[in-house]
């Protein structure tokens, strides 16, 4: 099993290792990087962890961070109030081009009630994708110098992810799993086999995609499914039938044929066969905020 790092309410846990370089810190987001693992502490402080050494690199002064992604050697940080920051060469700066992104005037969550949030990020192959809740997915082809809209903002995206073949995937709140084969130009939607179409997580594997589905916000019937390109199959071998409302963006992760999901009551389940079967790998963990394959 490859190394699995967990951002928890009381430190950074790496399965199979001893010691915790961020002991007792409230780690709220993680992102693998070229030179270590990026972590966000209490939504404000950005650190890099490498070989159990912690480098404190920057602090968000006027924003609460929500998500991280390492892209082309730079770190991008999504924040509340639909902010986007870039840390590069020792400098953390707000990306002003994102403040002028198309459609921004209509972003809010829930629509009309409170400011939108930069919810999740994904990047690869010369493209950066920014999921705004609620505001769709914005794409940048020039490392944040400009942005363009992709999916309809009303689809209500809860997580964006990229597979190794370049496909873009989105867990949506209304139309199940969204798939784009042309970098967000056209989208198809998949629901066959799901008990409900409200998705909170998406995690691409080598030959499939994992999602978490439930009947709606605040419901307790969330379950993990495996999508093989045609239909969904519920993951029942080694997983609980439902997760009691515990699943949200960041708590289901996959890489190659490996996957991990943070369950209720401090449990962690892992799969080594692309989500076909699972086993419990940890219990009594502090509240898991996010998972990363280190």
The number of domains in the chain is 1
Q: Rounded to whole angstroms, how far apart are CA atoms 39 and 67?
A: 9
> How does pLDDT run across 59-110, given as a tens digit for each residue?
999 899 999 999 988 999 999 999 999 999 899 999 999 999 999 999 998 7
Query: What is the overall mean pLDDT for the chain?
Result: 95
- The encoded tokens of residue 52 equal 């159990």
Residue 34 pLDDT more than 70? yes
Q: Residues 247-268, buried b or exposed e (16+ Cβ, 10 A)?
A: bbbbbbbbbebbbbbbbeeebb
3-state secondary structure of 11: strand
Q: In the chain, what percentage of residues exceed pLDDT 70?
A: 99
Q: Please tell me the least confidently modeled range out of 49-53, 184-188, 225-229.
A: 49-53
Read off φ and ψ for residue 106, nearest 5 degrees. -100, 5
Give the model's confidence band at 283: pLDDT under 50 very low, under 70 low, under 90 confident, else very high.
very high
When pLDDT is averaged across residues 215-232 and rounded to a whole number, the result is 96
Residue 1 pLDDT more than 70? no
Give the model's confidence band at 262: pLDDT under 50 very low, under 70 low, under 90 confident, else very high.
very high
CATH number of the domain that 109 lies in?
Answer: 2.130.10.10
pLDDT for the residue numbered 18: 80
Q: Please tell me the least confidently modeled range out of 9-23, 27-41, 229-243, 278-292.
A: 9-23
Question: What range does the domain containing 208 cover?
Answer: 4-293
pLDDT for the residue numbered 154: 86
Give the model's confidence band at 111: pLDDT under 50 very low, under 70 low, under 90 confident, else very high.
low
Residue 2 pLDDT more than 90? no
Residue 260, strand partner residues: 253, 270
Which DSSP helix (H) or strand (E) runs through 98?
A: helix 96-99
* pTM score over 0.75: yes
Report yes or no: 29 and 289 within 8 Å, Cβ to Cβ.
Answer: yes
- The encoded tokens of residue 2 equal 């490859």
Q: Is 113 exposed, middle or buried (0-12, 13-18, 19+ CB in 10 A)?
A: exposed
Give the model's confidence band at 115: pLDDT under 50 very low, under 70 low, under 90 confident, else very high.
very high
Q: Find all residues with CB under 8 Å of 163, minimum gap 6, and list them.
A: 169, 204, 209
Listed ranges 1-5, 75-79, 151-155; the one with the highest mean pLDDT: 75-79
pLDDT for the residue numbered 73: 83
Residue 165 pLDDT more than 90? yes
């Amino acid at each position: 099993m490859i190394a699995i790092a967990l951002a928890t309410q009381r430190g950074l846990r790496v399965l199979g290792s001893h010691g915790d370089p961020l002991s007792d810190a409230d780690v709220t987001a993680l992102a693998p990087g070229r030179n270590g693992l990026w972590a966000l502490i209490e939504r404000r402080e950005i650190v890099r962890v490498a070989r159990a050494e912690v480098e404190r690199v920057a602090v968000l002064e006027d924003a609460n961070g929500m998500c991280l992604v390492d892209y082309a050697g730079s770190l991008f940080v999504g924040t509340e109030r639909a902010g986007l920051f870039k840390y590069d060469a020792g400098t953390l700066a707000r990306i002003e081009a994102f403040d002028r992104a198309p459609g921004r005037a209509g972003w809010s969550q829930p629509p009309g009630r409170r400011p939108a949030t930069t919810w999740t990020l994904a990047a690869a192959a010369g493209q950066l994708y920014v999921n705004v809740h609620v505001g769709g997915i914005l794409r940048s082809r020039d490392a944040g110098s400009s942005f363009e809209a992709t999916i309809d903002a009303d689809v209500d995206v809860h997580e964006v992810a990229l597979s190794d073949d370049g496909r873009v995937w989105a867990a949506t709140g209304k139309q199940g799993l969204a798939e784009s084969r042309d970098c967000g130009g056209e989208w198809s939607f998949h629901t066959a086999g799901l008990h409900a179409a409200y998705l909170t997580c998406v995690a691409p594997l080598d030959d499939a995609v994992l999602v978490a589905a439930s009947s709606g916000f605040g419901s307790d019937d969330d379950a993990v499914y495996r999508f093989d390109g045609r239909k969904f199959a519920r993951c029942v071998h080694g997983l609980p039938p439902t997760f009691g409302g515990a699943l949200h963006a960041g708590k289901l992760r996959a890489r190659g044929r490996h996957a991990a999901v943070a369950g209720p009551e401090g449990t962690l389940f892992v799969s080594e066969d692309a989500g076909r079967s699972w086993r419990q790998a940890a219990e009594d963990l502090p509240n898991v905020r996010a998972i990363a394959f280190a």
